[in-house]
Amino acid sequence: MTSTLTEQIQQFYDASSNLWEQVWGEHMHHGYYGPDGKEKKNRRQAQIDMIEELLYWVATKEASSLWPPTSILDVGCGIGGSTLYLAEKFNTTVTGITLSPVQAKRAKERAESANLSQHTNFTVADALNMPFADESFDLLWSLESGEHMPNKMKFLQECYRVLKPGGTIIMATWCHRPLDGSDGQLTDDEWRHLADIYRVYALPYVISLPEYEAIAQNIGFQDICTADWSTAVAPFWDVVIESAFDPQVIINLLFSGWTTIQAALSLRLMSDGYERGLIKFGLLRGNK
């Protein structure tokens, strides 16, 4: 990553993670509201359901001898929400990496509180240059981190490198709509909408799910499956917007710094992006 972008991402999550945990808890990702997006549920339960639905989606397609996994890497681990969940679910060791020292420190604290320190490792690391040997993990878990990567091919190459032969990647990431349908190329207005999202959430750019699939194929992943869960997750942003009006959240937000305040004021960008069909929530699974 360029140093400027790395610093932006680090500063964004250093500043916002504490507030997010206070309001939403340990899971810093979309919730799952059923295939049609109409299931009513507690917002934190929706985030747990996202993890379970992803695992179920993969397990129904999984033929690897390394499933269930015994060594897992959580890329973009946040404060350890998925990391701890996967460690407990599979009763195995999970390593989490993040660019944010604040997140890594908090993740370690949470692991200790959950008596999972022996099953988890957290480190500050760049996903484009991971500090792990080749063929180290059975499963690579990337839940909403791909959108931060300034080189999507390099990211997937690193994922491929650290996976054991037969290992699995599970990736869920923000995408823009495909370009090969009736709508064709992105319009100037769509580009402007994306540019605003990039600026607010420290993103370099996003690509379409078919582009991710093509990159994965080119790198050498096998048995690739993709899915568009945009409808299932779209209600998430309206729920986030609603929670932002809590008086205590507003007070805490005022002390969280300008980057976090700006992100809060711009939540409608993502909600509108889903509504107009520009933003997509893409899933990719493959084996090495």
pLDDT digit string, tens, across residues 204-245: 999 999 999 999 999 999 999 999 999 999 998 888 777 665
pLDDT at residue 11 greater than cutoff 60:
yes
User: Looking at residues 240-266, what average pLDDT do you find?
Assistant: 60
CATH node for 3-287 = 3.40.50.150
pTM for the whole structure: 0.90
pLDDT digits (tens, 9 = 90+) for 14-71: 777 776 667 777 888 999 999 999 999 988 899 999 999 999 999 877 666 788 999 9
Q: What is the pLDDT of residue 267?
A: 77
User: Looking at residues 250-254, what average pLDDT do you find?
Assistant: 55
Among 61-75, 131-145, 248-262, name the one with the lowest average pLDDT.
248-262
DSSP string, the chain: --HHHHHHHHHHHHHHHHHHHHHH-S--S-----TTS-----HHHHHHHHHHHHHHHHHTT---TT-S-SEEEEET-TTTHHHHHHHHHHTSEEEEEES-HHHHHHHHHHHHHTT-GGGEEEEE--TTS-SS-SS-EEEEEEES-GGG-S-HHHHHHHHHHHEEEEEEEEEEEEEEPPSSSTT-SPPHHHHHHHHHHHHHHT-S----HHHHHHHHHHHT-EEEEEEE-HHHHTHHHHHHHHHTTSHHHHHHHHTS-HHHHHHHHTHHHHHHHHHTT-EEEEEEEEE-
Q: What is the pLDDT of residue 265?
A: 56
Domain locations in the chain as residue ranges: 3-287
Among 106-120, 221-235, 248-262, name the one with the lowest average pLDDT.
248-262
